[in-house]
Amino acid sequence: MDPALFWYTLAVVLVLVGLAGVVLPALPGLPLVFAGMLLAAWAGDFERIGAVPLVVLGLLTVLSVVADFVATAAGAKRVGAGPMAVWGAALGTLGGLFFGPFGLLLGPFLGALLGELWHTRTLRRAAHVGMATWLGLLLGTVLKLALAFAMVGLFVLAWFV
């Protein structure tokens, strides 16, 4: 097997796993997408993909990671979610992985709801926090998907131009 073909194949696998990781919270999605693109650039001796596209892709990756953390914290703080709600959302997301797409949608909401209910013991407040947390996660995922496809588009453009 041609060594370059091996590296390109591994790069494609990293990008595809990274794209799945944008939706599946257990995987570092955009960093894996970037790693795959960096590997492909390296496998091609940086002839098709140079420094400028890689710096832009790297900045988009850093932006996505920072935005994800800031958005989650700001969203939870905005609705006054307690730390138990944030932990509940994270655990609910992980637990939701075992129940497919339905679990991924419902898990964070139920986790945040139960965490806030444990903290405040008020169902109405807990439901509000759970819904706000769920909407924040959903909007964050949409933003990460947009960034992921922008990164792929930029990479493809740089590869062929």
The predicted model scores a pTM of: 0.77
CA distances to 6, 38, 85, 95 from 26, rounded to whole Å, are 26, 22, 19, 10
Pick the more confident residue, 96 or 52: 52
Percentage with pLDDT > 90 across the chain = 39
Integer Cα distance of 30 and 64 in angstroms: 7
The structural domain count of the chain equals 1
Residue 73: pLDDT band (50, 70, 90) is low
| Residue numbers of the domain that contains 100 | 3-160
**Residue-wise pLDDT tens digits, 92-122:** 878 887 887 788 778 888 888 898 888 877 8
Whether 71 shows a pLDDT value over 80: the answer reads no
pLDDT value for 103:
83
